[in-house]
Amino acid sequence: MDSFVEVALRSAYSTRKHSVRKWAVPVDYSIVHHVGDEMLHTRLIERHFRHLAEITGLSIQPAPSPVAANFIVVLTREESLVGDLLRYYGTHSTLQHEPLFRHSICMVMFATDRKGSIVRAVAVIPVDRARSRGVLASCLAEELTHAMGLPNDSPKMFPSIFSISSRQAYLTGLDVLLLRMLYDPRVKVGGDERNLRPILETIAGEFERDNGFGSAGQLAEEGGLAAFRLGAGE
């Protein structure tokens, strides 16, 4: 429960308390290729989106056209980064987030409606930066998962892809449980911490009773990018 609150309702960059944010409509994604290796990058993204769909129950599919997409994944390079930030995040967002991005590898932002339903997301992935550090696949896994409605990273999370102190490359059993909690129908968009805690206690009790913890770990290890091997240096 505390882990869910930490990742879903907290922010590392502000003291503001958030309510539940998640997708309430199908995710239709489009990939923008500004670098080579299009087939490999598409395979990575499709595989992780399929994994997220399996965990959450969301419909996550390629958009019929780029203009119909509500989730855009931009694969770019270091030299084009500022221009892509301006294009996809806007001037104000670029000025606000560029200093942070210089110390990060990849980035994702999402927008919500007034209730808290996510309506649009954009991930910007500087492929050369990620590959030079051997973290392209894990970078994709983390950012695309953040955009499901679990935006925070925290040193309190372990083992988790959202951990700051001990970074995990791919989804863990804990991450699978957090996603399942978020997309449980009883967890409503806009819900606050006070109202959520008894619901989360009920869900956690069901996980324990039905061996949800064990099955979550197995799903994390056998699905998604954890089972995808790129080889040395990705």
Cα-only R_g, the chain: 17
Tell me if 220 is assigned to some domain.
yes
Confirm if 40 and 167 have CB atoms less than 8 A apart.
no
* CATH number reported for the structural domain that contains residue 42 in this entry: 3.40.390.10
| Domain membership flag for residue 12 | yes
Q: Identify whether 234 is part of a domain.
A: no
Let me know if residue 110 belongs to a domain: yes
Provide the domain limits for residue 178: 2-227
109 CB contacts (<8 Å, ≥6 apart)?
89, 93, 97, 121, 122
Q: Are strands 117-126 and 22-23 parallel, antiparallel or unpaired?
A: parallel
Q: What is the pLDDT of residue 91?
A: 54
The per-residue pLDDT for range 50-99, each reduced to its tens digit, is 999 999 999 999 999 999 999 999 999 988 888 888 888 875 554 455 55
3-state secondary structure of 128: helix
Residue from 231, 220, 142 nearest 180 by CA = 220
Q: How many domains does the chain have?
A: 1
17-40 per-position pLDDT tens digit: 789 999 999 999 999 999 999 999
Question: Minimal CA–CA distance to 127: which of 225, 37, 52?
Answer: 37
Q: Report the pLDDT value the prediction gives residue 12, as an integer from 0 to 100.
A: 63
232 located within any domain = no
State the burial class of residue 35 (Cβ atoms within 10 Å of its Cβ: 0-12, 13-18, 19+): middle
Angle (nearest 5°) at CA 192 between 191 and 198? 90
Question: How far, in whole angstroms, is CA 10 from its chain's centroid?
Answer: 15
- Model pLDDT for residues 92-137, shown as the tens digit of each residue: 554 455 555 555 789 999 999 999 999 999 999 999 999 999 899 9
CB of 161 closer than 8 Å to CB of 172: yes
Number of H helices, E strands in the chain: 8, 6
As a whole number of angstroms, the distance between CA 197 and CA 195 comes to 6
